[in-house]
Amino acid sequence: MNTIVERIADFLKEYSPFDHLTFQELSEIAANIRVVNLQKNKTLFQYNDVLHDSFYVVASGVIHLSVIADAEETILNKCHAGAIFGLRPFFAKNNYRMTAKAREETVVYAIPIAVFRPFVANNTEVLNYLLENFATNTPSSTDNENSRGSQISDTLFYTDKQSEMQYFQTLSYNNTPLITTASSTVSEVAQLMAEMRLNSAVVCEATLPIGIVTDMDMSSKIATGRFPITVSVDKIMSSPVITVLENVSLAEAQLLMLKNNVTHLCVTADGTNKSNVKGVVSEHDLIVAQASNPGVLIKEIKRSQTSNELKQIRVRLTDLIQTSIYKNIPLTHISNITSEINFALLKRAIELSILEMGSPPARFAWLSIGSQGRKEQLLLTDQDSILVFEDVATEKYREVKDYFLNLGKKTTLTLEKIGYELCPNGHMASNMLWCKSLTDWIKQYDNWMNTPGENSNNLSSIFFDYELVFGEQKIEDAISNVVFKNANNNTLFFDFLGNDALRKNSPLSFFKKLILEETGPNKDKFDIKTRALMPLIDGARLFTLSHGIKGINNTYTRFKQLAINDPKYSEIYLNCAEAFLTLSKLRTVEGLKNEDSGQFINLEELSKIDKEKLKNALAPMRELEELIKNKFQLTQFS
């Protein structure tokens, strides 16, 4: 036998779960292992990377597993020799939820999942071990040279509030299952299943589940003639029934079906067979859940060839947002996933235009601005973008600009077909004002920022919320350098932006009543965008620019970062962050309900609790307004 293979097999048998396998099995695994050498600080995979086809064991050195939550990096675990990590590809289909980085020179063994999977299916100890680690709810804090096989679940997205397990992997299942008694005949149950179009029936005794009958039982036991159709259903049911809690995740359901070799799980009030039935999870439900899994949607986007295919995916994204809000998944998570899918759609629209037009004549950057640039576009609102191309020789300028204007036009029309309306103010890469060379853009930002009063006709503060969708990172960096250089001690600019932020109408009247629209089609409704969200968005932008905080566009994250950078006022910033989430959620729910932008809210239709939430969320705005006036000494507030 190959000595390297032998050495790896010897190493593995010292650690769990490999100590449950024979030396022959270990040698087969070792023969397929890839040895990966990592330099200090080298990343093996990072948050949101596409899953690898292997999981990993540390052979020597140290791997740190971390996530970035609330604008800070949090170390979840330190993996020493023998530790397994990166189990996510075993059980989930969407991308990595953490980063794995070498803390020193490290060697890891990459074990192909296809090679290892048969050993999992045939060995309960190995499966239980992986199941336990995959479904761990709290990150292990073991930090010890001798901690063998110290684990961390790759399913977690860690925030300081709690670990939300696979937040996008919750399941929809039948919560009005067919319930029958042990004495019912098979023919009666088969008829009910056919009428209700169900593929299972739960057999109960005094409301507690004792077994389950599926269409598989019908075909393998009745259709084959093993039992007559007149027998009572308890003769053919599977028993005991495998039970789970109501909030079962996709991964847990998959594992339980695999482990117990069943196709259905029974959902009960406390997750045991000693409480009432609440529903049934079928294999089909798992397939449906995976189809609306963000990783799957992004893969489909990359394969799409037409705007119509992309439109179908955007419709599924809306369903995903709706389900997630209904399941009370934190809005920050919903926004993160939505913006990844939105960006994949934008990117594919640009790629399809390039495929049609041929290669670009120069390097460029397509930047999303506004709510897309801030990654806050949960609803189908309009598109805002700019295009920056590298400087070219004067004689080529015209031809190059024509190509990019054409690219802008094709792409914005594709995006309109997908469902993103054209920007009514023309803030798009198809507009010759917003499609130009890097030098021209630098002049534009210089003008806006150094003489804001004179050149403010077309200055919209959304031009300071930009995010690269496609193209050269260096071009975006060059724009950022100009913005932050000009922002430094620029009283005139902050005076202009500060007054602009304060000019937004106050949401509450002097008597603390919500100010409603007085005329027009939205009479008597509350404009949550202009009166509540915009002042927070403007305030967050103003303070991040004045503190020189680069690379953070999202309003919620901006406030969280400001609380760290400017601790004296951290309470105001944190209150504003929470208010922004509450208001965004109210607007999104309204928009999904009415299939519009959610801008105008009918207070009559709000529940008492939501009205209270809305009023409470408006309270921090007064403090933010005072802070803006004091920090920037704005007296000419109009």
- How buried is residue 219: exposed, middle or buried, by Cβ count under 10 Å (0-12/13-18/19+)? exposed
Structure-block tokens of residue 252: 């847990």
pLDDT of residue 141: 30
Asked if 369 contacts 342 with a C-beta cutoff of 8 angstroms, the reply is no
Structure confidence by residue, pLDDT tens digits, 580-626:
999 999 999 988 888 888 889 988 888 888 888 898 898 898 899 88
Residue 109: Cβ within 10 Å count: 20
Torsions phi, psi for 240 (to 5 deg): -70, 160
pLDDT of residue 333: 77
User: CA-CA distance, 104 to 64, in Å (whole number)?
Assistant: 10
- How buried is residue 43: exposed, middle or buried, by Cβ count under 10 Å (0-12/13-18/19+)? exposed
Q: Is the Cα torsion angle 298, 302, 304, 306 positive or negative in sign?
A: positive
Which among 312, 351, 327 is positioned nearest to 471, based on CA atoms? 351
Domain boundaries, given as residue ranges, for the chain? 3-165, 179-290, 294-435, 494-631
**Which residues in the chain come in under a pLDDT of 50?**
135-168, 636-638
DSSP string, 277-320: EEEEEEHHHHHHHHHT-HHHHHHHHHH--SHHHHHHHHHHHHHH
In DSSP terms, which residues pair with 386 in a beta bridge? 367
Asked if 336 contacts 321 with a C-beta cutoff of 8 angstroms, the reply is no
Structure-block tokens of residue 123: 């060995």
CATH architecture entry for 3-165: Sandwich (2.60)
User: CA-CA distance, 381 to 387, in Å (whole number)?
Assistant: 20
Under DSSP, the state recorded for 69 is E
Q: Look at the pTM and tell me if it is higher than 0.85.
A: no
For the chain, give the mean pLDDT. 84
Distances (CA, A) of 272 to 208, 243, 246, 474, 515: 9, 5, 11, 56, 51
Structure-block tokens of residue 193: 């299943």
Homologous superfamily of 179-290 in CATH?
Answer: CBS-domain (3.10.580.10)
User: CA-CA distance, 52 to 86, in Å (whole number)?
Assistant: 9
Which among 25, 42, 207, 45 is positioned nearest to 119, based on CA atoms? 25
pLDDT of residue 165: 32
- For 294-435, the fitting CATH number among 3.40.50.1820, 3.40.50.10490, 3.30.460.10, 3.40.50.300 is 3.30.460.10
Asked if 585 contacts 530 with a C-beta cutoff of 8 angstroms, the reply is no
pLDDT of residue 152: 31
Structure confidence by residue, pLDDT tens digits, 492-540:
888 888 888 887 666 766 556 778 888 888 888 998 998 899 999 999 9
Structure-block tokens of residue 13: 């048998």
Q: Is the Cα torsion angle 613, 614, 617, 619 positive or negative in sign?
A: negative
User: CA-CA distance, 348 to 365, in Å (whole number)?
Assistant: 14
Which among 388, 390, 404 is positioned nearest to 354, based on CA atoms? 404
Structure confidence by residue, pLDDT tens digits, 234-265:
999 998 899 988 777 777 787 788 778 888 99
